[in-house]
Amino acid sequence: MSSKAIAVWADVCSHLKTRINADVYARWIDIIEAVDIEEDTLVLGVSNDFYQLWLEQNYLSYIRDACRIVAGREMQIRFTVKAPKAARSEPRPESPKSAAKNENGAPHRARGQSGQKKIESTLDSRYVFESFVIGPSNRFAHASSMAVAQAPGRAYNPLFIYGGAGLGKTHLVQAIGHYALTQSPLNVCYLSCESLMNDYVDSLQKQSLIQFRKKYRSTDFLLIDDVHFLSNKGALQEEFFHTFNDLHLSRKQMVMTSDRPPNEISGLAERLVSRFEWGQVTYILPPDYETRLAILKSKQKAMNISLPQDVLELLATSIKSNIRSLEGALTRVTGYAAHMHAPLTLDLVESLLRDLLDKNVQPHMTVEGIQRSVAAFFDVRMADMTSKCRTQNVALPRQVAMYMCRTMTSSSLPEIGAAFGKTHATVLYSFRSVHDRIGRDSQFKQMIARIEKKIESAK
């Protein structure tokens, strides 16, 4: 270790402390050791390659900037792994087959095994199947969830649920957990992918990777929320891959949620993409008007309140794409009414919720505008958008237009269906087939992107 490197690094650290929040500093910077300065390169030591990768991907530019300021010149940074002996002696993740046994050759997922850390399940008591309102937008995801809850490891494994923010993924995955717990004394583990990451990092720091592995591989039911968080986290993906294989091999149920389908998570290893697609991939769409209204009614019942029907309808009409916002609006309106003892008029509700309403409505993006742009793109007549003709040169533009309406407006499935002279089921079918094709056909995907631009510019 060179004393010059130590001195420079101490100054860099003082500078970094003022730039990076304390938690991040403690977790990612404080663990670095200065090793050497070789000409223009500061060599820094970390205890394993995961740290190296993480620092290179996330903090290198901060460190380089701080170095430039402290040293008064451009410096390169190089990391080197200086593993303490104990960490080096830990085995790499085992192969799926050998991972099914512990050191004594016994399956290590037997419940109540001595010395095994119990997994904390943090399930929210409100997120149960009974309080989940079913509609066309989530019927498929709900049915698949029920199937795995009732027959863990036998229906689909894994179950992968994707959908936009605030559409009920966490609610559903936790409902599965609650249900499973009422059926049999299973070892159910629910956690967000971010918590899994934190646990993993802690286990690296405490050199307790073996316990980490045992803990997750001994679950009967592993529910991981928001796995898009795995994006570009190579070491965690590697760990998760082996856990996945192990649990899958022993028919333990896994459920994952994500904000997008597996093949659209950037920086996710191909072998994980394919494993996530092994079982059932299902999605939740933004709810239609009727479902939004039903959710509001169900929530107000749970909150033991009663708002006038026209207020509920105004909320359901105005807030379309996020159920969390819908709930937020309901709470805000109720709170106001309770404190002010004022009758709730529609004008009052509108002014109370202006910020929420504005964000959710895109007044210029209309179904008709989309139909017009898509027809122009494919060089078909506007009338073909609503015709019954099924030939491919008309059917494809129509499907694409329905897909665009679903993704670019907040109109409900029945509303879109009506604009095309079709049922909501046809719209859903079109959405799925276009969506699936985007996933497997890169040229088609590019075409869709061009159409999107055209629609945007015509707005």
Binding site for ligand ADP (CB under 6 A): 127, 131-133, 138, 163, 165-171, 295, 298, 323-324, 327
The listed partner (ligand ADP, Mg ion, none) that binds 253, CB under 5 to 8 Å by sort, is: none
Find the shortest distance in angstroms from Cβ 169 to Mg ion.
Answer: 5
Find the shortest distance in angstroms from Cβ 440 to ligand ADP.
Answer: 25
- Piece of 15-23, 76-84, 161-169, 237-245 that binds Mg ion (CB under 5 A): 161-169
Cβ–Cβ under 8 Å, residues 408 and 452: yes
170 counts as binding Mg ion under rule CB under 5 A: yes
The listed partner (Mg ion, ligand ADP, none) that binds 167, CB under 5 to 8 Å by sort, is: ligand ADP
- Piece of 105-113, 164-172, 359-367, 419-427 that binds Mg ion (CB under 5 A): 164-172
What span, in angstroms and rounded, lies between the C-alpha atoms of 287 and 157?
26
Overall residue count recorded for the chain in this entry: 459
Measured from the CB atom, the residue of 298 and 366 that comes closer to ligand ADP is 298
Measured from the CB atom, the residue of 173 and 330 that comes closer to Mg ion is 173
Side-by-side strand order, sheet with 253-258:
188-192, 221-225, 253-258, 159-163, 280-284
The listed partner (Mg ion, ligand ADP, none) that binds 243, CB under 5 to 8 Å by sort, is: none
What span, in angstroms and rounded, lies between the C-alpha atoms of 424 and 406?
11
Measured from the CB atom, the residue of 295 and 427 that comes closer to ligand ADP is 295
Greatest CA span in the chain, whole angstroms? 80
The listed partner (ligand ADP, Mg ion, none) that binds 205, CB under 5 to 8 Å by sort, is: none
| Three-class secondary structure of residue 41 per DSSP | strand
- Piece of 39-47, 71-79, 168-176, 204-212 that binds Mg ion (CB under 5 A): 168-176
What span, in angstroms and rounded, lies between the C-alpha atoms of 88 and 91?
8
Measured from the CB atom, the residue of 116 and 360 that comes closer to ligand ADP is 360
| Three-class secondary structure of residue 213 per DSSP | helix
Cβ–Cβ under 8 Å, residues 192 and 229: yes
The listed partner (ligand ADP, Mg ion, none) that binds 283, CB under 5 to 8 Å by sort, is: none
Cβ–Cβ under 8 Å, residues 322 and 164: yes
The listed partner (Mg ion, ligand ADP, none) that binds 165, CB under 5 to 8 Å by sort, is: ligand ADP
Contacting Mg ion within 61-100 (CB under 5 A): none
Give residues with Cβ within 8 angstroms of 344, minimum separation 6. Answer: 307, 308, 311, 333, 336, 337
What span, in angstroms and rounded, lies between the C-alpha atoms of 25 and 353?
39
Find the shortest distance in angstroms from Cβ 154 to Mg ion.
Answer: 26
Strands 41-46 and 33-38: antiparallel
Position of minimal CB gap to ligand ADP: 168
224: enclosing H helix or E strand = strand 221-225
Q: Which residues bind Mg ion (CB under 5 A)?
A: 169-170
